[in-house]
Amino acid sequence: MIRSVRGVHDILPTEAAKWQRVERAARGVFEAYGYAEIRLPLFERTELFARGIGEATDIVQKEMYTFDDRSGESLTLRPEATAGLLRAYIEHGLHVQPKPVKLYTLGPMFRYERPQAGRYRQFHQLDIEALGDDHAALDAEVITMLVELFRRLGLADRLEVEVNSLGDEASACRPRYRAELVAYLRTRADRLCEECRERTEKNPLRVLDCKTPGCRPVLDGAPVLGDFLCADCTTHFAKTREYLDASSVRHVVSPRLVRGLDYYVRTTFELTTTELGAQNAVAGGGRYDGLIKLLGGPPDPGIGFAVGVERVVQLLPDAGSPAGAERRTPRVFLIPLGEPALGRMLATATGLRARGLVVEVGYGGRKLGRELERAGRLGASHAVIVGEAELERGEAIVKEMASGAQRVVKLGELAEQLLALGGRA
């Protein structure tokens, strides 16, 4: 037997109802905020991610599924959606639309990670990006929308909104902070793990993210970005928080919240929970002014977030998906006995389905008793039996499954009768 690949999962029909619920809620919320759906390819040129995520990031360094296709071109399964979405934005000239241009997408992402609870190699994200505006009110609106999604899913109370400002490369507050941080870390390298020492040189902000307990004392004493923000970044962050308050979005400032992408500036945020163990982030995002230009586009600023759908689904109560919801309960189970009756019932079934009823047909090959048993197991409210004798008389037997009560109905009136029953059942 060939099994599925490590870190990759089937979403079985019993779970799919929850997934549909999350996707429906997301579409509803995103569209209410003016976002339009964009559907993107699952693989792109490797170069796009190297540039769009950053050479020094964990994703690009060790998590990508990269391969040469038969023509020798290096391609990569998308590890996240932002780079591909920005590529499409530039390629199709979407920046000529009124700004901010608001786009959302959803689907599988691929990262070669160590599989564990809440961490997979194929996982799914809901992703939004708002492009072409850097007003702090947009930052607040994006975070408000994220919280609204979780409110509609009944999960908002179980999550915390963490925000931070990463400062800005251009205005020099981050470079100044980075230099300070690197100096601090280098002098304490002997008390840091191997990975932190490596990151100190390659991607120092990410050191703050280290989960190794032994590194904590050094990291807890590290300089804090907030103390280094320039006047513009300070105002932008204060305004963002003010608009969040105005929108009644409770949030906390996490001075050590840094994110994986190299190009995040200013506002960054995460939605976290204490209920999922080590994998505590259900969504994360931030502003990435400058990235669109870096990818060859116009100098448009941008902000976005991604929600990890597996982690959201894990938080949803099972009540969202009653047992058996994976298969729609048929209202009617048609049981023709013999070929001529089968032909007639197939046509009846098509007509009933077109009018909105869920209909199953027993194709024959089983005895009547077995078909009735099947109708019962599927939860049909009515079975319709048409044998040769009934067909000759132009009749059908309609059996109410719960009571076992039967009555005879004219074949010509069967569809109308069943539709009428449908209203009652």
By CB under 6 A, name the binding residues for ligand ATP: 80, 111, 113, 118-120, 123, 125, 259-260, 279, 281-284, 306, 308, 310-311
In the complex, what is the shortest distance from the CB of residue 186 to ligand ATP, in angstroms, rounded to a whole number? 25
In the complex, what is the shortest distance from the CB of residue 160 to ligand ATP, in angstroms, rounded to a whole number? 13
Residue with smaller CB distance to ligand ATP, 43 or 112: 112
Give the whole-angstrom CA distance, residue 404 versus residue 244.
Answer: 60
Residue with smaller CB distance to ligand ATP, 204 or 284: 284
Q: Which residue is nearest to ligand ATP (CB)?
A: 308
Q: Can you name the residues that pair with 104 across neighbouring β-strands? A: 37, 128
In the complex, what is the shortest distance from the CB of residue 410 to ligand ATP, in angstroms, rounded to a whole number? 57
In the complex, what is the shortest distance from the CB of residue 223 to ligand ATP, in angstroms, rounded to a whole number? 22
DSSP states along 3-52: PPPTT-----HHHHHHHHHHHHHHHHHHHHTT-EE----SEEEHHHHHHH
What is the DSSP pairing of strand 332-336 with strand 359-361?
parallel
Residue with smaller CB distance to ligand ATP, 119 or 178: 119
Residue with smaller CB distance to ligand ATP, 111 or 287: 111
In the complex, what is the shortest distance from the CB of residue 227 to ligand ATP, in angstroms, rounded to a whole number? 24
Name residue, tokens 């905020």: 33
Residue with smaller CB distance to ligand ATP, 18 or 399: 18
In the complex, what is the shortest distance from the CB of residue 122 to ligand ATP, in angstroms, rounded to a whole number? 8
- With b for 16 or more beta-carbon neighbours within 10 A and e for fewer, the 99-137 pattern comes to ebbbbbbbeebbbebeeeebbbbbbbbbbbbbbbbbebe
Name residue, tokens 């769009």: 52
Whether the Cβ atoms of residue 303 and residue 138 lie closer than 8 Å to each other: yes
Residue with smaller CB distance to ligand ATP, 35 or 123: 123
- With b for 16 or more beta-carbon neighbours within 10 A and e for fewer, the 235-266 pattern comes to ebbeebbebbeeeebebeebebbbbbbbbbbb
In the complex, what is the shortest distance from the CB of residue 93 to ligand ATP, in angstroms, rounded to a whole number? 27
Give the whole-angstrom CA distance, residue 253 versus residue 256.
Answer: 9
Query: What is the three-state SS of 96-164?
Result: HCCCCEEEEEEEEEECCCCCECCECCEEEEEEEEEECCCCHHHHHHHHHHHHHHHHHCCCHHHCEEEEE
In the complex, what is the shortest distance from the CB of residue 261 to ligand ATP, in angstroms, rounded to a whole number? 7
Residue with smaller CB distance to ligand ATP, 49 or 228: 49
Residue with smaller CB distance to ligand ATP, 219 or 281: 281
Residue with smaller CB distance to ligand ATP, 241 or 259: 259
Find the radius of gyration of the CA atoms of the chain. Answer: 28
Give the whole-angstrom CA distance, residue 410 versus residue 423.
Answer: 19
In the complex, what is the shortest distance from the CB of residue 340 to ligand ATP, in angstroms, rounded to a whole number? 55
Whether the Cβ atoms of residue 372 and residue 406 lie closer than 8 Å to each other: no
Residue with smaller CB distance to ligand ATP, 3 or 211: 211
Give the whole-angstrom CA distance, residue 298 versus residue 277.
Answer: 41
Angle in degrees, CA 308, 197, 59, rounded to 5: 30
In the complex, what is the shortest distance from the CB of residue 285 to ligand ATP, in angstroms, rounded to a whole number? 7
